[in-house]
Structure 1
Amino acid sequence: MLKVDSIEKGIVLDHIQAGKAMQVYQYLNLDHLDCSVAIIKNVKSNKMGKKDIIKINDTIDINLDVLGYIDPNITVNIIEDGMTIEKKRLELPEKIVNVVKCKNPRCITSIEQELDHVFKLADRESGAYRCIYCDQKATHSQP
């Protein structure tokens, strides 16, 4: 059995849809951190069947909107002194900024390089986002 030590202080991202841990890792730029980051894939879960978990051995600012966009079922656990002191539940954010880029070549964001890529939640049921400038639908792909 695989044993990953518990952390004393940091963040545990739990209930990540199986196979999405690397996407979360990339979106949050966890490769730039100077602390231990453990990615545990395909963990057995009573609720989900299988899930991924990411443990970050430090307290950092995490963009909850990015996480909510990737997978609103992720649970963010804040750990201090080896204990969970706070659990944050996510939901689809109303707006995401510079999380995904607009793919429309005629969009103003393609011409104005310094313009933020802003998408609004268009349909909560399907998780669809649309560019505020050109109404292009955002796709869930790599950052």
Structure 2
Amino acid sequence: MKVTSIVDGIIIDHVQSGTALKVLHYLHVDPTSTRLALIMNTDSHKYGRKDIIKIEESDDLDLTALGFIAPQATVDMVRQGHIVSKHKPDRPVHLVNVISCVNPRCVTSVERGADQCFHLDDSGVYRCDYCDEKAEL
């Protein structure tokens, strides 16, 4: 299999094996209208297996959720065919409208239009701002 380099865009590497499609969902990337390459379940020296996502021309992509869904990933910014920066995503302290509260009694479940707000607690778990329910992927 041959996957060519991208000229301008991002490469999200070291994504947990089998979760690339979930990452695209949380990043709100529409695979039907975005030029991208998915490499799934490829060999990794560090993790055994990994996924890689290459997204062409992705200047307006919000990577906030990446620290939540794939904290071990690395993000390479590519310009004119060269990697110009490389970083690991930070785990966001707050998430707004990325995930939904699973508690059926939570105000976000009964109030229309209420934002789904979560915070990172001291133990590294995301909890609902309203009912303190633990977040689930």
Q: How many residues align?
A: 137
2:108 is paired with a residue whose SS is helix
Aligned to 1:36: 35
CA-to-aligned-CA distance 1:54-86 (integer Å, 9 cap, x gap):
011112333322111001111111101100011
2:31 and 2:41 map into 1 onto residues whose CA distance is 24
Q: Provide TM-score, normalisation by structure 1.
A: 0.88
Q: Structure 2: state its 5+ residue gaps.
A: none
2:64 is paired with a residue whose SS is helix
Aligned to 2:87: 88
**Superposition map of 1:60-99 within 5 A:** 60-99=59-98
1:94 and 1:74 map into 2 onto residues whose CA distance is 17
Aligned to 1:6: 5
Work out the percentage of aligned pairs sharing the same amino acid: 45
2:76 and 2:91 map into 1 onto residues whose CA distance is 18
Opposite residue 91 of structure 2, the aligned amino acid is L
Aligned to 2:112: 113
Q: Structure 1: state its 5+ residue gaps.
A: none
Shift of 1:33: 6.4
2:46 is paired with a residue whose SS is coil
Opposite residue 37 of structure 1, the aligned amino acid is L
